[in-house]
């Protein structure tokens, strides 16, 4: 049979090309343990994609768009999933600099994922984990009212990311997500105050994170802690211009 008449040639060539493109080492611990960490299949697949980009293409910081091209998720969904994984400590974002050029860049690390998987294995083996290491996803029981408040708070924090993406008219980058998380967790800005700062930036036509950060710092210096105080401060500021 000639090559031109071989109906399986294209199929064989496609399979061979796929095999020659290489493979990655998938940790068995991740395959057997992701469900025990309450990770969904899309979240686990996203983690595998990060491993693939790192190991095969030496890309330590793929964009949400690059990840979405290889998944059944939209770019917006990939962005939201990355934010969730960062917030829950499964992945981190490191800053580094090139030793030759001095240029700074960012990269994902999966140390949090491996630590939480190791914790699951330790607990299943019957060993007592070190007291300095928090148990994986095992918050202390709270009264129902407090639990409801905590749930409402989590929903508000999730909504603020969506509000930023809506005003920026694009998915947020991982670094931008980390900035918002820092405002919430480290600076302890109320969600409502972040919303007001975003509205002020939109009103001023300066929709970028540096300007929003300046607004928040200015409010902090002037002891502005509530949306009502922020509104009054903004009106006085505009009135004095």
Query: Highest mean pLDDT range out of 2-6, 11-15, 135-139?
Result: 11-15
Arithmetic mean of pLDDT, 201-227: 89
- Confidence (pLDDT) at 147: 46
The DSSP result for 117-180, as a single string, is HHHHHHHHTTPPPPTTSPPTT-PPP--HHHHHHHHHHHHHHHHHHHHHHHHHTSPPPHHHHHHH
Query: In this predicted model, what pLDDT tens digit does every residue of 67-101 receive, in sequence order?
Result: 999 999 999 899 889 988 988 889 988 887 777 88
- Confidence (pLDDT) at 39: 93
Q: Where are the domains of the chain?
A: 24-136, 157-241
The CATH class for the domain spanning 24-136 reads mainly alpha
Distances (CA, A) of 19 to 7, 11, 12, 14, 235: 20, 12, 11, 9, 64
Name the architecture of domain 157-241: Orthogonal Bundle (1.10)
Greater confidence, 178 or 42? 42
Is 226 in a helix, a strand, or coil?
coil
Q: How many CB atoms lie within 10 A of CB 98?
A: 9
Residue 10 clears pLDDT 60, i.e. is over it: yes
């Amino acid at each position: 049979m000639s090559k031109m008449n071989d109906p399986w040639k294209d199929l064989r060539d496609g399979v061979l090309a796929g095999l020659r493109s290489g493979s990655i080492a998938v940790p068995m611990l991740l395959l057997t343990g992701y469900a025990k960490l309450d990770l969904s299949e899309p979240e686990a697949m996203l983690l595998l994609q990060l491993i693939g980009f790192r190991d095969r293409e030496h890309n330590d910081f793929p964009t949400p768009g690059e990840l979405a091209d290889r998944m059944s998720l939209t770019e917006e969904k990939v962005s939201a999933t990355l934010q969730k994984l960062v917030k829950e400590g499964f992945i981190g974002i490191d800053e580094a600099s090139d030793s030759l050029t001095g240029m700074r860049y960012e990269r994902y690390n999966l140390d949090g994922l491996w630590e939480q998987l190791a914790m699951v294995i330790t607990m299943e083996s019957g060993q007592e984990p070190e007291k300095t290491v928090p148990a994986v996803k095992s918050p202390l029981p709270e009264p129902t009212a407090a639990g409801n408040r905590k749930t409402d708070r989590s929903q508000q924090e999730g909504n603020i990311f969506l509000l930023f993406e809506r005003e920026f008219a694009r998915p947020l980058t991982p670094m931008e997500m980390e900035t918002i998380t820092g405002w919430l967790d480290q600076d302890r800005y109320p969600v409502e105050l972040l919303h007001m700062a975003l509205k002020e930036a939109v009103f001023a036509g300066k929709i970028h994170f540096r300007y929003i950060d300046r607004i928040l710092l200015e409010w902090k210096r002037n002891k502005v802690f509530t949306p009502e105080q922020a509104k009054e401060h903004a009106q006085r500021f505009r009135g004095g211009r």
